[in-house]
Amino acid sequence: MREITYRDALREALIEEMQRDKTVFLLGEDIGLYWEGAFKVTKELAKRFGVERVRDTPISESAIVGAAVGAAITGMRPVAEIMFGDLVTLAMDQIVNQAAKIHYMFGGQANVPLVIRTPFGGGVNIAAHHSQSLEAWFMHTPGLYVATPSTPYDAKGLLKTAIRNDNPVVFCEHKLLYPIKGLIPEEEFTIPFGSADIKREGADVTIVATMFMVHEALKAAETLEKDNLSVEVVDPRTLIPLDKEAIVSSVKKTGHLIVVTEDCKTAGVGAEIAAIVAEEAIDYLDAPIRRVAEPDTPIPFSPTLEKFVIPNEESIIKAVKEIV
């Protein structure tokens, strides 16, 4: 095992898959020779694989995804980078009306082995156009897979699985995760979609958390342990497919559920997870479900206000103490 950053884990996955399969190529704004990616995930890859396989594109998200969809259905495995997750809005037709539906609408005669990598989330003070978490939009679209890795290990294993998948995958990263370090095996590995990870075992309350919120939940769990509260932290790792069995099993054990996500509370990821538990495990609940999410507001530019609206350790602890 070796310790590397989330950023380097993603880069390793790209390198290994590009070496393994010559149909894999990258495209996106400023990912190539000059800038090497806004968050440096593609650093030195253009030098290593050439500009044909690490392609800088015009500043047009619809063109990036449109070209990637076309390449995918004609036999390539594109990995498209959208510089900020908010900008997927400029390619929604290509993502939700084309990539997600082609396999179904053509009776299985065409596949779309496409990965769209993009960073979501706030915490870096870049305001409402560059700080949203929109992963729930893609959960709502049949035909898309949605990955949400929270650690370097998960990032590498899930990205390799995504690239090998014959279906379109929206691969959600979080800006604050790129420098986080974690242990990675020396040998090759992949992580199957639809397999949640119990990041911490506990007996009193289940916290289901995604992406950067996993780390806030783990901090909250450590603090709550001093109050003799045992917290189990479940990381779904992929939202589509979602490991419902792992979530429901944890709730049956603890009798309490809190869902912590960084998207808006209304109709968000937490609402879907809460509904699943209400449908399948309500008799095991000893208290109402709590959702800890952003209020329904654009992300403020002010650092003080941004910190106020984004869930954190303190808001998670407060939710736990309300129901336990």
Give catalytic residue positions: 130
CB 121 within 8 A of CB 262: yes
Neighbours of 87 (CB within 10 A): 17
Structure tokens at 119: 């960073």
Structure tokens at 166: 């014959």
Angle (deg, nearest 10), helices 152-164 and 6-20: 30
Cα gap 65→40, rounded to integer Å = 20
CB 149 within 8 A of CB 173: yes
Q: How far apart are the first and last CA of the chain?
A: 38
Structure tokens at 235: 């990381």
